[in-house]
Structure 1
């Protein structure tokens, strides 16, 4: 390394010191005091020491000094701007590398207090986020005033005109395309802008991804990485949806990072111990500002969750909803959501299953089986599902063909807090068919509880549900759109045989 390269100033460290309002002497004093009070050590740290670090004369201070700086500035040691020197190898060392000695750790390394405090703070924010998701979504909605929807103000829902059809679209009229050559999104969640909400993994490093922190520090009961379909194109004039592929954790690394960042800057506790939500501001939301346009498919991986409003039709129509348990699910916990609802994903990674399961209807069927009938999770393993031989799939398929089940798509909305997408659908089921298929419906499942009675699909009930302030953004939107178009949806005279709703890709 040349002398010029070695003397590059450490602008990162200079910036940390200046933002803290410290002179070089102040920083030296702070580090000396920290070493004495926390470790009982008395190193010779002077203004000259700080100057040498900042001018780049010392590329890689001793580990103890890096630890002190990281604790003082509340960051990871690798965020201090120091450059680890590259060892100069002899010609022999370059051609004949020596094997590293085999060693075994006798005891796990003790967690640094600085790291413990940072992880504890992350857990506290994560817990508060789960308790206040709906309120935070409503607050975040105000950041997207041009995308609020008439009749859905203060529900946490946003959307774009091109994402909502003029009226519900029969599901069999929508073509789907799976594009294996889709370009990777510009943002993955590992950018420097997300660092403040990724806790310290050690004194030297932060967690690489938000999902890693969830896994280690606050894992819910259901937390698996699965192949998912990523929405990359939408056109209601045809109508047509185009998808690529992504993983479930890809969404966690953007959606939950957005939510955590927003909660960290907008949740506060007043003197009486009550939670206070100030006015929403983008000022300190670096990651949200990086994403910018939430409706740009190229900016981030947009995982489509399919939420279905299930209406038991007839003269007295009713709906069922789902109380999601935050201890069991990674997102949307604590809110009342649609039933069924699930990520648009195949039941298995076997290619034949991916092809067969690339269908909104198949996804809805599997969620009915899991959430209402207590079938085991179709967790991405095993053989492709034999839809044409197994219940309840055959009964549901037959009911669609006979017109006893009518399925529509209501459009696509976003949760303003997480920017997670909801492909909203509605299934209107004839009373006799509903009672026959769901005669053994459960009251609890792996994601939460199902009310023992259905809610009347009437204006007073829908008003009370909305005023309860417990509806998820997706559930609020689906109920609103369904009520707006109730004449079309509940028109029993319109029930007629329909084509099969299996794979409708093009």
Structure 2
């Protein structure tokens, strides 16, 4: 049974049992599949995701057969696996479950199939037109366009952009575990058009349920994330305030907004090519419900830390990322910052949450994953020993020595999804850059990394803008970094 709370208790007992066997989550899943076949004649397809859900507390009480397999494999009683039996549901629970409808094993009706196929077609069209739709959505917020960034899909509140880049070492981060939940969750009636029927007459409960059933990307897990609740650039002590949220909270609002926009603003011309219509608030009930995109009490804002990585020196250059829509849940098909990652801890354990509540730690992990090909620090296992592991130890020393400088450029929104980008720029001394990234990968779990670095100069920026593939976050970071280049390279 999956837990319904965003605040889950990790199963540290199960984590310890696995790690004492020196197994990854994927390896444990394969061992259990093998045990089921050899000892019980059963064919299972347990995956890394299955084990992750047990360990992070998303699934608090797995099926009895799964518990039996775990007990047999580890040689312990079922009672010592760390699972907690859920309380019995009240008598009315079956009726509530039936209304949800997302997990009922019934044969799809023609009406359900039509609704779901329509959803798939819109989702596929969204994947190829995100930038065009972001520019369309930008037109819905004329008061929040940034000078120099018109027609890039970027919007921002004036108070969210500092007048000059701020060193991340000067930013105070505050995490509050008692932040009130947002008013909007994505389950409102206004999202009905983007949640197709799961069974006749019953719609999926949330947008992420539809993604998981109909078009699951390679990576799709409900991980713990830091929710931006307030930021202040003007006080003597510059600060950013956060609470907690789940990754699926963002899918239920941000991707639902994108789907609604695609549903109402895409059309096919006489050549059957997709094109966008003029921006209009008509028939956008969910976006209308959200209202002010900068009111962070209304909706959960999951900030992604996007970093413009710059090889410094006399001829600075940058690298960018081609995101693959088949591998990521959002932003596919666009040229984005490298690295970029959701602001979240590397593990659900309390010690990791405390250690990873840091923009610098987030940037370090994403550099290791996206440029060096490290396995993803996916929210499972024990906290990272940053002082002992590479490249983290070298990066820490370089930051202390001034060979790496990290600047925050501000926070912007993608007008299509209203996702937040915490924009940073990392200026790395050329010798250190060449040493760190001598073995940089060409592909990673989210897309491809161009082999050639791009000169950081005005002609390059003009070319990238005219090419028409820059994500809103990348366009904003490049523009702001260029405007403040004298500060970044001082």
Q: Aligning the two structures, in what range does the TM-score lie when normalised by the shorter sequence?
A: 0.7 to 0.9
Q: Secondary structure at the match of 1:414?
A: strand
Q: CA deviation at 1:270?
A: 1.5
Does the 8 Å CA contact 2:148/2:479 hold for their aligned counterparts? Answer: yes
Partner of 2:130: 133
CA distance in 1 between partners of 2:199 and 2:227 (Å): 33
Q: Number of aligned residue pairs: give it.
A: 388
**Is it true that 1:460 corresponds to 2:459 in the alignment?**
yes
For residues 35-83 of structure 1, what are the alpha-carbon distances to aligned partners after superposition, in whole Å with 9 as ceiling and x for unaligned? Answer: xxxxxxxxxxxxxxxxxxxxxxxxxxxxxxxxxxxxxxxxxxxxxxxxx
CA distance in 2 between partners of 1:361 and 1:420 (Å): 20
CA distance in 2 between partners of 1:204 and 1:171 (Å): 51
Q: CA deviation at 1:110?
A: 2.2
CA distance in 2 between partners of 1:437 and 1:319 (Å): 15
Partner of 2:204: 207
CA distance in 2 between partners of 1:275 and 1:196 (Å): 20
**Is it true that 1:435 corresponds to 2:434 in the alignment?**
yes
**Is it true that 1:119 corresponds to 2:106 in the alignment?**
no
- Once the two structures are superposed, the pairs formed by residues 164-179 of structure 1 within 5 Å of their partners are 164-179=161-176
Q: Secondary structure at the match of 2:425?
A: strand
Query: Which range is displaced more, 275-284 or 204-213?
Result: 275-284
- Once the two structures are superposed, the pairs formed by residues 84-483 of structure 1 within 5 Å of their partners are 109-237=106-234, 238-483=237-482
- Once the two structures are superposed, the pairs formed by residues 32-111 of structure 1 within 5 Å of their partners are 109-111=106-108
For residues 315-350 of structure 1, what are the alpha-carbon distances to aligned partners after superposition, in whole Å with 9 as ceiling and x for unaligned? Answer: 110000000000000000000000000000000000
For residues 389-448 of structure 1, what are the alpha-carbon distances to aligned partners after superposition, in whole Å with 9 as ceiling and x for unaligned? Answer: 000000000011111000000000000000000000000000000011111110000000
CA distance in 1 between partners of 2:410 and 2:215 (Å): 33
Q: Secondary structure at the match of 2:427?
A: strand
Q: Secondary structure at the match of 2:398?
A: helix
CA distance in 1 between partners of 2:205 and 2:397 (Å): 48
For residues 290-317 of structure 1, what are the alpha-carbon distances to aligned partners after superposition, in whole Å with 9 as ceiling and x for unaligned? Answer: 0000000100000010000000000110
Q: Secondary structure at the match of 1:323?
A: strand
Query: Which range is displaced more, 355-364 or 274-283?
Result: 274-283
CA distance in 2 between partners of 1:286 and 1:330 (Å): 23
Q: Secondary structure at the match of 2:300?
A: coil
Partner of 1:66: none
For residues 14-44 of structure 1, what are the alpha-carbon distances to aligned partners after superposition, in whole Å with 9 as ceiling and x for unaligned? Answer: xxxxxxxxxxxxxxxxxxxxxxxxxxxxxxx
CA distance in 2 between partners of 1:208 and 1:414 (Å): 26
Q: CA deviation at 1:204?
A: 2.6
CA distance in 1 between partners of 2:315 and 2:152 (Å): 27
For residues 237-278 of structure 1, what are the alpha-carbon distances to aligned partners after superposition, in whole Å with 9 as ceiling and x for unaligned? Answer: 231000000000000000000000000000011122122211
How large is the Cα RMSD of the aligned pairs?
Answer: 1.4
CA distance in 2 between partners of 1:276 and 1:385 (Å): 46
CA distance in 2 between partners of 1:157 and 1:343 (Å): 18
For residues 125-165 of structure 1, what are the alpha-carbon distances to aligned partners after superposition, in whole Å with 9 as ceiling and x for unaligned? Answer: 00000100000000100000000000000000000011000
CA distance in 2 between partners of 1:245 and 1:351 (Å): 13
Does the 8 Å CA contact 2:141/2:155 hold for their aligned counterparts? Answer: yes
CA distance in 1 between partners of 2:361 and 2:450 (Å): 25
CA distance in 2 between partners of 1:108 and 1:154 (Å): 45
TM-score (norm 2): 0.78
Does the 8 Å CA contact 2:304/2:341 hold for their aligned counterparts? Answer: yes
Does the 8 Å CA contact 2:106/2:199 hold for their aligned counterparts? Answer: no
TM-score (norm 1): 0.76
CA distance in 2 between partners of 1:424 and 1:417 (Å): 18
Q: Secondary structure at the match of 2:140?
A: helix
Unaligned runs of 5+ in 2: 1-90, 95-103
